Amino acid sequence: MSALRNQVKALGTLLGQTIAEDKGPECLALIESIRLQGKAIDGGDQKALLSLMGKISEGDDETLLTIARAFSQFLNMANIAEQIYTVSDEAQSLIDRPDPFASLQAQFDAKHWHKSDFAKAMASLHIDLVLTAHPTEVTRRTLIHKYREIEAQLRRGADADNERIQELMAQDWHTNSIRRIRPTPVDEASWGLAVIEDSLWTALPLFMRQLDQHAQAITGEPLPLATAPVRMSSWMGGDRDGNPFVTAKLTREVIAMSRAKAAELYGKDLEQLSMELSMMDASPGLIAALPEEHKNSEQPYRELIRPLRKLLAVTREQMEAQARTGKATNTQVPLLENAQELIAPLHLCYHSLMECNLASIARGNLLDVIRRIQCFGVGLIRLDIRQHSERHNDVLSELTQFLGLGDYLNWSEAERQTFLRAELDNRRPLVPADWAPSSDVAEVLDTISVIAQTPAEMMGIYIISMASQPSDVLLVQLLQKACGIRAPLPVAPLFETLEDLDNAEQVMTDLLAMPGYKERSKGHQYVMIGYSDSAKDAGVLAASWAQYRAQDALIKLHQREDLKLTLFHGRGGAIGRGGGPAHGAILSQPPGSVTGGLRVTEQGETIRYKFGMPKLAVRSLSLYASAILEALLAPPPEPKPEWRDLMDSMSEKACKTYRSYVREQPDFVRYFRQGTPEQELAQLPLGSRPAKRKSTGGIESLRAIPWIFAWTQNRLMLPSWLGFGTALEDALQHNAEPLLKDMQAHWPFFRSRLAMMEMVYSKSNAKISALYDAKLVEKELIGMGEDLRNLLTTDISTLLKFLGQSTLLEKDGWGQQSLDVRQSYLVPLHLLQIELLARVRASHDENQVSDCNRALMVSMTGIAAGMRNTG
């Protein structure tokens, strides 16, 4: 860890020089003295905290802006140092599973698993990573680019060019770290495509080679050529839930952009392949596939590839034009619509080379290209569509009223189902030609028409937010039919409240029992599990147990019904939003949860941390793959009935405690708004979508991201722990300790909950949170904050007592040290934020570019960078 500290220090010194050059040595001296004071306090000593706070409050707005920028940059530098360190040799000894496949192989040997079981597990290995545009990435892309360059230099070790690093650091310092305007959904989609182009494009073949080597080491056989365990999907430009800027027109543009980008990248790959595959020897199969005039060619491979290059060039040109103008320019020319059009001829090349004893050529660049196409398909990503269930109901409401049938919204669930089922079976068109729906309804229908006009391979699935009834699913199936989609998208209900998760099994049971439903599902059902919103609704413990129970029941139901089920996990980066280490998360799911593949969201900053560089992406893919293989080979145990009972009662207790504050304390919302920067956060233009679904309302209308983000900023981290400790204490008082120990030892689900709680508690800081309250919260509400902080302290001791530890993260040296490295930069940022919030609120300063407001925003992004996520 000393290497990490040294790296952070060295970068800090360089940054210091940049600041001194710009602002003068006195300014640097002030920053340095604040840093040292922050370091000495380390979040603990209240008196020292107050003295530092006093010092900060003396600064004028401009000075505070400079200080905020400095500490925020320090934290970004600390993150760079940590990224480098993560893949260094020293770190490998500290992190869990330095080589995920090697750990898997060791288990394979130790547990005497069978080769054939491994091959079977390999065949079921499916990872569908869904990039979303959730507004949780606080770092501007232009800065990410500079950080990447700095990182590239540092990776060169002794050969690093310090002048270049200094130059990049100056560029960084002189760039505004806060976006001025919100990105559009198109910006977000291009960002997603850039992550693929810059990182996953390189990482995928490397990952596949590793997987292949390990599979060969275990089974003695290379992976079959068609093996394609990874698929990329996206919500960027497709997720319109609460985001009025994602329109049908925009979705069409994003689709065209993705297809153009795919054609461009494949075009480059095929150009290189064509250059390399100059061999003369070819199999009869390959020759047979050539047009008559080229059968005697001396370059048969090039002849086979030539028309593919042409197809890609035309596709690129047409799609670029469509993305620009919104219209297809020439509808007559054939375009790439199906990946098989590329894969089949390349497979032919592969087999021909193998037959001609040219395996090293077949298994080189050609194999990499084949694997890319098999993974990325015709558009690099498959675009999902997500819409809120209410918006679909509104379509039917207007339509049924137009048809003189009454208002769909007033119908009972049974009446809705009867109508929808009859219409699904009806051959007459549902939508009358003379119907002129409202613009909101037209928008929903236009989106479905876009799906109808898009190659099926370009599209993913259709997700319904806040789904709660069978009619929610039938309705979307009906709308797809009504809009004439030949290959309708699979419809996935998203269950995301405690009640809806508890009801999920019943909803799916009812659907599966309906005649025609299974046929319409084409043997494959997707169900999405919402982690954040359920946690916001019921607290993390109750929500995570409800997620577990719902998944478990759905898995068993679909097994009984013999229908493939893919569970789609809507996880955020923070623990309060279902985040946490991927490996632990997968193995803590119920047995059978990955049999139908793993589909999971990757969003915001986690995309950068997990996939931002090829090396990280290879590691993340390997972690996913090894965890899924492990879960397939040795599924986690079925919980014992007494474990379930205890979890039921603990989660009831936890939910009660959570709701007793969040829902039942009349002043809770006031306290939340005053003690956190929730209101001010809405000014940060992080993503294209508004912070709320509706512009009015309280906590329930607030989306889960700002809810968690705000509590992370003041370090109370409330939603991530409230209720857990009370439930644990209660169980212990009821003599459940032996049972809890049994669960800890033998149940990965429970073990991973404990690990997450340790992480959350260690990120919380009661002293810092008290300072927010003291300066920002009305006197009469401070009592609530004190109660909560006392509860936090008690909860931490309860957990420590149960774990038999004296400090948090005692067994996770990495996690603890990573936080320690950041602490001295974080403390001043919190103090600055408190002061700035007080100033902005007192002056009602709405000028977004005033020094004070800018400094406040910098403090928010700086703390988010320091905590490694927005919450």
Q: Which residues are catalytic?
A: 134, 536
Q: Are 42 and 824 in contact (CB under 8 A)?
A: yes
Shortest Å, Cβ 494 to ligand PGA: 8
> Within 10 Å of residue 799's Cβ, how many Cβ atoms?
20
Among residues 745, 842, 813, the alpha carbon closest in space to that of 93 is found at: 813
Residue with smaller CB distance to ligand PGA, 44 or 244: 244
Window 653-712: residues binding ligand PGA (CB under 6 A) = 703-705
Residue 586 binds to ligand PGA (criterion: CB under 6 A):
no
Could you tell me the smallest distance in angstroms from the CB atom of residue 723 to ligand PGA? 18
Separation of alpha carbons 576 and 555, rounded Å: 24
Residue 392 beta carbon to ligand PGA: minimum distance, rounded to whole angstroms:
16
β-partners of residue 495 are 529
Instruction: Closer to ligand PGA by CB, 577 or 839: give it.
Output: 577
The tokens for 242 are 């609460």
Asked if residue 391 binds ligand PGA (CB under 6 A), the reply is: no
Strand partners, 127: 230, 598
Residue 94 or residue 383: which is nearer to ligand PGA going by CB? Answer: 383
Could you tell me the smallest distance in angstroms from the CB atom of residue 532 to ligand PGA? 3
**Angle in degrees, CA 48, 52, 57, rounded to 5:** 145
Q: Residues 535-574: x/- map of binding to ligand PGA (CB under 6 A)?
A: -------------------------------------x--
- Toward ligand PGA, which CB reaches closer, 577 or 789? 577
Q: What is the 3-state secondary structure (H, E, C) of 323-349?
A: HHHCCCCCCCCCCCCCCHHHHHHHHHH
Query: DSSP character for 590?
Result: P
Is-contact 574 708, C-beta < 8 A?
yes
226 contacts 122 by C-beta, under 8 angstroms = no
Q: Are 230 and 617 in contact (CB under 8 A)?
A: no
Q: Does 533 bind ligand PGA (CB under 6 A)?
A: yes
Query: What is the rounded CA–CA span in Å between residue 375 and residue 201?
Result: 10
Alpha-carbon distance of 555 to 548, in angstroms, equals: 11
- Which is nearest to 405 in space by CA: 391, 428, 423? 423
Helices vs. strands in the chain: H and E counts, helices first: 40, 8
- Interface with ligand PGA in residues 109-168 (CB under 6 A): 134
Asked if 85 and 11 touch (Cβ cutoff 8 Å), the reply is no
Given a contact cutoff of 8 angstroms between Cβ atoms, the answer to whether 567 and 753 are in contact is no
3-state SS class at 407: coil
Q: Which pairs count as long-range contacts for 298-302, CB under 8 Å and 24+ apart, including other chains?
A: 300/352, 301/274, 301/277, 301/349, 301/352, 302/274, 302/277, 302/278
CB of 720 to ligand PGA, least distance (A): 12
532 near ligand PGA (CB under 6 A)? yes
For 320-327, the CB contacts below 8 A with 24+ separation are 320/256, 320/260, 322/252, 322/253, 322/256, 322/260, 323/253, 323/256, 323/257, 323/260, 326/249, 326/252, 326/253
When the beta carbons of 243 and 622 are compared against ligand PGA, the nearer one is 243
Name which of 441 and 528 has its Cβ closer to ligand PGA. 528
**Residue 314 to residues 136, 329, 371, Cα–Cα distance (Å):** 37, 11, 23
Q: How far is the CB of 238 from ligand PGA (least distance, A)?
A: 12
Contacts of 296 (CB under 8 A, 6+ apart): none
- Beta carbon nearer to ligand PGA, 392 or 703: 703
**Nearest residue to 707 via CA among 532, 500, 545, 501:** 532
Closest residue by beta carbon to ligand PGA: 532
How many binding residues for ligand PGA (CB under 6 A)? 8
- Exactly one of 23, 481, 577, 789 binds ligand PGA (CB under 6 A); that residue is 577
| HEC string for 486-518 | CCCCCEEEEECCHHHHHHHHHHHHHHHHCCCHH
Nearest residue (CB) to ligand PGA, 322 versus 532: 532
Q: Which is nearer to ligand PGA, 215 or 704 (CB)?
A: 704
Q: How large is the angle between the packed helices 340-355 and 367-376, nearest 10 degrees?
A: 160
We find the least distance from the C-beta atom of residue 572 to ligand PGA, in angstroms, to be 4
Given the complex with ligand PGA, which of 300 and 572 has the nearer CB atom? 572
Looking at the Cβ atoms of 23 and 703, the one nearer to ligand PGA is 703
User: Please, what is the minimum distance in Å from the beta carbon of residue 719 to ligand PGA?
Assistant: 11
CB nearer to ligand PGA: pick between 358 and 705: 705
Instruction: Check residue 72 for interaction with ligand PGA (CB under 6 A).
Output: no
Structure tokens at 62: 């401009």
First to last CA, the chain: 25
Distance CA 554, CA 565 (A): 8
Q: How far is the CB of 465 from ligand PGA (least distance, A)?
A: 6
Closest to ligand PGA by CB, 38 vs 572, is 572
Neighbours of 726 (CB within 10 A): 23
Partnered with residue 602 across adjacent β-strands are 131
Q: Please report how close the Cβ of residue 751 comes to ligand PGA at its closest, in angstroms.
A: 24
CB of 534 to ligand PGA, least distance (A): 10
Q: Helix-strand-coil percent breakdown of the chain, rounded to 5? A: 65, 5, 25
Q: Which amino acid is at 84?
A: I
Minimum distance of ligand PGA from residue 711's CB (angstroms): 13
Shortest Cβ 659–ligand PGA spacing (Å): 19
Specify whether the CB–CB gap between 572 and 704 falls below 8 A.
yes
Binding site for ligand PGA (CB under 6 A): 134, 532-533, 572, 577, 703-705
